[in-house]
Chain A
Amino acid sequence: MSPISFTLNERAVRLEVDASRKLIWVLRTELAMTGTKPSCARGLCGACTVLVDDRPVRSCITPVESVRGKRVVTIEALAKDGELHPLQKAFIRHDALQCGFCTPGMILTAYGLLRDKRKRSRREIAHAMDGNLCRCGAHTRILDAIESAAAEMK
């Protein structure tokens, strides 16, 4: 078992863990980042999404080995210097959530989407978000929030 080092929320992390373990469990237990939510464990719902080198990744199917040397960001660190990210603000402003369990994954998936390309049609956004499941039915508001954050981030 060789130690695995990576950056978590801008802090260096060095762990002695089995390299095949899934990132989600290491984040939630050893590193206490419980904003990353377990739900399907098979990469089917998006609730566990985190950013690895600024790209959304499903931590429930990601071996911790694969983030060696990379930058991992969880929902806890999306706000910078006490300032919420435009997506977080837009989710609040639009009431784009109910139970909130899918919310971290929604925001981080949307983050990756807008990082690639700001200007997107609503239809494009909807298709790109199809892999993230919400059971409360906040979908239309989530799309509103992403559109409005995109406009703000221009």
Chain B
Amino acid sequence: MKRTDDLLSQSRRTFLKRLGGGIVVFVGFRGRLPSATAGTPGGRMGDQAVPTDFNAFVRIAEDGRVSCFTGKIEMGQGPITSLVQMLADELDVAYERVDILMGDTDLCPWDRGTWGSLTTRQFGPLLRAAAAEARAVLLQLGSESLDVPVSRLAVREGAIFERGDEANRVTYGALASGREIARHLEVKPELKDYAEFRIMGQPKLRRDSLEKVTGAAKYAADIRIPGMLYAKLLRPPAHGAKLRKVSAKGVRSVPGAIVIEDEDLVAVLHELPDVAEEGLDRIKAEFDRPSAELTDANIHAHLRKVAPRDGVASRGGSLGKGRKLSKRIVETTFFDGYVAHAPIETHAALAQIENGKCTVWASTQNPFGARDQVAAAIGFPVNRVRVITPFVGGGFGGKTGNLQAVEAARLAKIAGRPVQVMRSREEEFFYDTFRPAAVVEVRSGIDASGRMTFWDYEVLFAGARGSDLFYEVPHHREVARPSGPRAGPGTHPFATGAWRAPGNNTNTFARESQIDIMAAAAKADPLEFRLAHLKDPRMTRVLKAAAARFGWKPAPTPSKRGVGIACGIDAGTYVAAMAEVAVDARSGVIEVQRVVCAQDMGIVINPQGATLQVEGCVTMGLGYALSEEVHFRGGQILDTNFDRYELPRFSAVPRIETVLIEANDIAPQGGGEPAVIVMGGVIANAIHDATGARVRQMPITPARVKAARE
């Protein structure tokens, strides 16, 4: 550790002043945690308002309140609660005395974005380190103030006292008073051991509920500033369509409407959002539309044709040898469609330019990315752009593009007034970065004893996440072509991107379906078949825990009972699910009645929050498994609202039981995404168990169930 008062740059001094007095502790691990600390997308850090050589910091104010500043954002997944638990526990202050400020690029340390289930497992240790270091600093100050050596001091609820003489005490607030101290940690501090946790590991209710049930919680589109205008933008009818002719003459009949035309932007601005919309309706525009050969019906054939040859591969043994050992070989092709993020809050942003500084309130998962994009778009240096992230009304991987923030800033600059852009539901579907359609081809074999001999797995377009085989198969190859959810031109007819546990939903559906197919071929119970092919103790444990809660009774599948299993690994977390379904023989309509989900996520910081995430994953997973699919004709999106795009509804949600495995010897792992990955596989397997029909395409619609039965 170094005293850094003498190392403080001018920017940091300014920054400290902005935070107010008290004690601030910075923590940075250069080169130790690559994805948390690597450069911004585009590789430029620029001249920033916030010092960039650290990842977390905490401040102890003179009134003893503690503040946590983080570039992470709250979109429902719960860090507003769990990060406070971490900080309070490491610092030894009351949980209620901690405030958290999230996603403000002028006040929070740089962060790449809130995704990948990284907040707890990657940012968590940094925040805890900052808190632990702050505690050490305070102990040192306390020792000087009380004239007692640190070794004889103890801390409880923000007060330092002498062991054996608790009256000889001083509070954190008193120590912070009148000081302006910054510490910059270079060495990894001692974090509390699991056995010392008092607040971490306790189930805590959400900290933001009161604001959210009273309507007080502000989202980006709820921010109001005097003089603001609402913008409605002209949108093409299809991706790839080019604007040929536009006439805004008709808008003149709408009093107060302002038309802005700037290169690709055509917008109507008004003091009332609905009147702006009315203005937009009066713009006459003609577009050249590209050919529309691709549809949701022929997309998979197209993707198989255009898939690049290269890909990530992992392998072991020799596939040829494996084939020779096989008594039975099964080759299956699985298909997955495009899925929308469909957050209930559409993308929104309000931009204000004042005194050469642009402030943007945005619904975004990556405020720092938004800041850089806005700066580039309006030609401002990054330190003249501030992005503030109010509550985000759902993200799921979809609020990372920040187009709406850029549009609001461009329009605000031209209009000379604050401008809000909030997407309509139709725009939200149109500009979504859908989870990509994908194809998985699997060939695998079993020998006479029912053991798997080889596994040859190739995934197109979903990506590598979740494609690794964790079952023990002597000869195997797993290829992901290409490696990510975003593919190049000539592939998807619109934008695609990360969708909660990107890739893993498709891969787990395919892998777990194929494993069940092999278990059926071996006439084995699907749980016993899995356990017989597993060496990883974490996966074995999580499967057994799910089975115990579910009351799994071994039988070869199909057993006509309608029960299924699937398991997988995501973000360092192990998940196993079991489901019970009923399938209507005539209509093919599926009712999921019960889902048990067991999860080993290492140490659980907030068991309550983790349970919410599992339930959310199970529910959201029902959607991609059973009903959600984006239909399109070329670049035209046909599903543009909730009448056609079917999200899971109340009466379709089953009884959900969550089992969190006690795994306190393992560091905290991801929680926001993992449980969503098993839902396709577990439902497909339960349907097969009920009916003998193997559905190889998601979503598993009644029509596809009926087709598979024939």
**A residues bordering B, Cβ < 8 Å?**
21-22, 25, 28-30, 32-42, 44-45, 47, 74-76, 78-79, 84, 88, 91-93, 95, 97-104, 107, 123, 125-127, 129-130, 132-143
Nearest Cβ in chain B — how far from A43, in angstroms?
10
Q: Is B344 an interface position by the 8 A CB rule?
A: yes
| Bound: A141/B209 CA distance, A | 13
Q: Is B424 an interface position by the 8 A CB rule?
A: yes
| Bound: A75/B75 CA distance, A | 20
Once the chains bind, are A129 and B650 in contact (CB under 8 Å)? yes
Chain A residue at minimal CB-CB distance from B228: A29
Once the chains bind, are B343 and A101 in contact (CB under 8 Å)? yes
| Bound: A142/B75 CA distance, A | 18
| Bound: A53/B208 CA distance, A | 29
Once the chains bind, are B345 and A99 in contact (CB under 8 Å)? yes
Once the chains bind, are B344 and A135 in contact (CB under 8 Å)? yes
Nearest Cβ in chain A — how far from B629, in angstroms?
16
| Bound: A137/B396 CA distance, A | 12
Residues of A within 8 A of B230 (CB): 29
Nearest Cβ in chain A — how far from B107, in angstroms?
22
Residues of B within 8 A of A100 (CB): 76, 208-209, 211-213, 217, 391, 393
Once the chains bind, are B619 and A47 in contact (CB under 8 Å)? no
Chain B residue at minimal CB-CB distance from A32: B224
Which residue, of A38, A40, A76, A136, has the highest number of chain B Cβ atoms within 10 A?
A: A136
Chain A residue at minimal CB-CB distance from B392: A99
Instruction: From the candidates A42, A75, A97, A129, name the one contacting B206 in the complex (CB within 8 A).
Output: A97
Once the chains bind, are A135 and B212 in contact (CB under 8 Å)? no
Chain A residue at minimal CB-CB distance from B617: A137
A98/B612 contact (C-beta < 8 A), A41-B425, A45-B642, A136-B76 known: yes
Residues of A within 8 A of B253 (CB): none
A95/B425 contact (C-beta < 8 A), A39-B346, A84-B214 known: no
Once the chains bind, are A40 and B641 in contact (CB under 8 Å)? yes
Residues of B within 8 A of A34 (CB): 215, 218-219, 221-222, 224
Once the chains bind, are A99 and B391 in contact (CB under 8 Å)? yes
| Bound: A39/B428 CA distance, A | 10
Nearest Cβ in chain A — how far from B640, in angstroms?
10
Q: Is B273 an interface position by the 8 A CB rule?
A: yes
A44/B643 contact (C-beta < 8 A), A99-B391, A135-B394, A140-B656 known: yes
Once the chains bind, are A101 and B215 in contact (CB under 8 Å)? no
Nearest Cβ in chain B — how far from A35, in angstroms?
2
Q: Is B137 an interface position by the 8 A CB rule?
A: no
Once the chains bind, are B208 and A135 in contact (CB under 8 Å)? no
Residues of A within 8 A of B648 (CB): 137, 139
Once the chains bind, are A103 and B643 in contact (CB under 8 Å)? no
Nearest Cβ in chain A — how far from B568, in angstroms?
18
Q: Is B210 an interface position by the 8 A CB rule?
A: yes
Once the chains bind, are A99 and B344 in contact (CB under 8 Å)? yes
Instruction: From the candidates B77, B224, B274, B617, name the one contacting A25 in the complex (CB within 8 A).
Output: B274
Residues of B within 8 A of A22 (CB): 274
Nearest Cβ in chain A — how far from B292, in angstroms?
25
| Bound: A74/B213 CA distance, A | 11
Residues of B within 8 A of A37 (CB): 219, 344-345, 393
Once the chains bind, are A130 and B209 in contact (CB under 8 Å)? no
Residues of A within 8 A of B244 (CB): none
- In B602-617, the 8 Å CB interface with A consists of 608, 612, 615-617
Residues of B within 8 A of A134 (CB): 344
A98/B76 contact (C-beta < 8 A), A74-B215, A88-B214 known: yes
Residues of A within 8 A of B656 (CB): 140
| Bound: A75/B656 CA distance, A | 29
A-B contact list, 25 entries, CB within 8 Å: A21-B274, A29-B271, A30-B272, A35-B215, A37-B344, A38-B422, A45-B344, A92-B206, A92-B209, A95-B205, A95-B608, A98-B76, A98-B77, A100-B211, A100-B213, A101-B219, A102-B344, A123-B651, A135-B394, A135-B647, A139-B619, A139-B649, A139-B650, A140-B653, A140-B656
Chain A residue at minimal CB-CB distance from B655: A140
Q: Is B369 an interface position by the 8 A CB rule?
A: no
A104/B650 contact (C-beta < 8 A), A21-B274, A34-B224, A137-B615 known: no
Instruction: From the candidates A103, A123, A127, A129, name the one contacting B213 in the complex (CB within 8 A).
Output: A103
Sample of 18 further A-B pairs with CB below 8 A, known A37-B393, A76-B214, A136-B76: A21-B272, A25-B272, A29-B273, A30-B272, A40-B641, A41-B425, A42-B425, A45-B642, A78-B214, A95-B206, A95-B612, A99-B344, A100-B211, A126-B650, A134-B344, A136-B616, A137-B616, A140-B619
Chain A residue at minimal CB-CB distance from B621: A137
Residues of A within 8 A of B437 (CB): none
| Bound: A71/B537 CA distance, A | 62
Once the chains bind, are A137 and B619 in contact (CB under 8 Å)? yes
| Bound: A92/B617 CA distance, A | 20
Instruction: From the candidates B224, B391, B643, B655, name the one contacting A42 in the complex (CB within 8 A).
Output: B643
Nearest Cβ in chain B — how far from A82, in angstroms?
11
| Bound: A67/B620 CA distance, A | 36
Once the chains bind, are B213 and A107 in contact (CB under 8 Å)? yes
A92/B213 contact (C-beta < 8 A), A39-B345, A99-B392 known: yes
Residues of A within 8 A of B214 (CB): 35, 75-76, 78-79, 84, 88
Residues of B within 8 A of A104 (CB): 213, 215
Residues of A within 8 A of B464 (CB): none
Once the chains bind, are B620 and A84 in contact (CB under 8 Å)? no
| Bound: A58/B142 CA distance, A | 58
Contact pattern, B 187-227, Cβ under 8 Å of A = 1, otherwise 0? 00000000000000000011011111111111101101000
Q: Is B78 an interface position by the 8 A CB rule?
A: yes
Nearest Cβ in chain B — how far from A107, in angstroms?
6
| Bound: A141/B641 CA distance, A | 25
Chain B residue at minimal CB-CB distance from A44: B642
Q: Is B618 an interface position by the 8 A CB rule?
A: yes
Instruction: From the candidates B206, B222, B615, B649, name the one contacting A130 in the complex (CB within 8 A).
Output: B649
Instruction: From the candidates A36, A74, A138, name the one contacting B616 in the complex (CB within 8 A).
Output: A138
Chain B residue at minimal CB-CB distance from A108: B215
Once the chains bind, are B344 and A47 in contact (CB under 8 Å)? yes
